[in-house]
Amino acid sequence: MTLGDSIERCLKKGKGDEQSAAAMCSILLLMQLGTSDSSEEALRSLYPVLKAIMLDNSASFPARAAVSLTAVDSVLFYSLNTCTFSEIVRTISREFLECLKYLKYY
């Protein structure tokens, strides 16, 4: 079991504060992996889970806020290394708008 697997499990099975902490750890993991293929693989496995929590109405607001911020950060971090600025803006705008809904609760 890897660190990425543990974070993914906490995101899926955890509640509230545990999901918030796992979301914050996931962006740290992606930053630590840098621009390697491992980072892309980790982002591909974590992003659907982050998105599912972000859209889940039954998840707590602090968890949804942390997950939203992490989703935006991870897309931005990955995009900075691979895309042009206009591509980054298009990609992140949807996630950022979703994130703004939860910032007032965070």
pLDDT per position as a tens digit, 32-70: 887 777 777 888 888 888 888 888 888 888 888 888 888
Going by pLDDT thresholds of 50, 70 and 90, the confidence category of residue 88 is: low
Average pLDDT, the chain: 77
Number of domains the chain contains: 1
* Domain carrying residue 31: 3-103
Looking at residue 94, its pLDDT comes to: 62
CA–CA distances in Å: residue 76 to residues 27, 31, 57, 70, 91: 11, 11, 25, 10, 9
Asked whether the whole model's pTM tops 0.75, one would answer: no
Please give the Cα distance from 21 to 16 (Å, whole number). 9
